[in-house]
């Protein structure tokens, strides 16, 4: 194989093997997509879905309530659902949809919403 052909082969293999870089989604955008529906555009627990719900979703702007929750608890509630922390089954587990990194981004964004960073 000629040197130039070898170079082309290496170049094409490099192209094929290049990892696909997917930009990480921000906590804010994840919140808008997955959380607004129940927790609301204003994050106050007044989402468009709540009219016929038996339990009102958590108000994420409630500084006192949110301060009482550790980051680990918030992570667990998002990942494994409300029942995992003895709360409502209406909060579904998101582990099949969101990665651990994305859930961490959401936890950080929740701390911004409640202005209760830990």
Partner 1 sequence: MLFKARLKPIAVVAVFAATLLSPIVSADSGDKILESRCVECHDLKGSGPASLAELWALKGPSLAYAGNKYKQPWLEQWLAAPTRIRPAGMFYGNHIKPGADEDVVNKDSLIKHLALSASEAKAVSAALMKHKAKSELITAGAYKPGTISLRMGELVFDKFRGCLGCHQIEPGYGGVSGPEVYTLGNRLQEDYIISFIQDPQAWSPLTFMPNRPLKDKDLQKLVHYFRALAKEKFE
Shorter beta-carbon distance to partner 1: residue 67 or 104: 104
Shorter beta-carbon distance to partner 1: residue 10 or 97: 97
Q: How far is the CB of 105 from partner 1 (least distance, A)?
A: 12
Q: How far is the CB of 28 from partner 1 (least distance, A)?
A: 10
101 binds partner 1 (CB under 8 A): no
Q: Which residues of 82-110 are buried (b: 16+ CB within 10 A; e: fewer)?
A: beeeeeeebbbbbeeebeeebbbbbbebb
Contact string 57-96 vs partner 1 (x = CB under 8 A): -------------------------------xxx-xxxxx
Count other C-beta atoms under 10 Å from residue 112's C-beta: 14
Stretch that binds partner 1, among 11-19, 48-56, 60-68, 69-77 (CB under 8 A): 48-56
**DSSP of 48-116, one letter per residue?**
TTGGG-SSPPP-TT-HHHHHTS-HHHHHHHHHH-GGGGT--TTS---TTTS-HHHHHHHHHHHHHHHT-
Using CB under 8 A, which of 47, 69, 103, 114 touches partner 1?
A: 47
> Which positions lie near partner 1, rule CB under 8 A?
22-23, 25, 29-30, 32-34, 36-38, 40-42, 46-53, 88-90, 92-97
């Amino acid at each position: 194989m000629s040197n130039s052909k070898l170079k082309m082969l290496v170049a094409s293999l490099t192209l094929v093997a290049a990892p696909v870089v997917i930009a990480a989604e921000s906590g804010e955008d994840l919140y808008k997509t997955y959380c607004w529906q129940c927790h609301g555009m204003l994050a106050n627990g007044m989402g468009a879905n709540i009219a016929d719900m038996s339990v009102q979703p958590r108000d994420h702007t409630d500084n006192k309530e949110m301060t009482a929750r550790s980051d680990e608890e918030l992570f667990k509630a998002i990942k494994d659902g409300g029942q995992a922390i003895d709360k409502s089954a209406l909060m579904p587990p998101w582990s099949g949809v969101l990665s651990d990194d994305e859930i961490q981004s959401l936890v950080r964004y929740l701390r911004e919403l409640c202005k209760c960073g830990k």
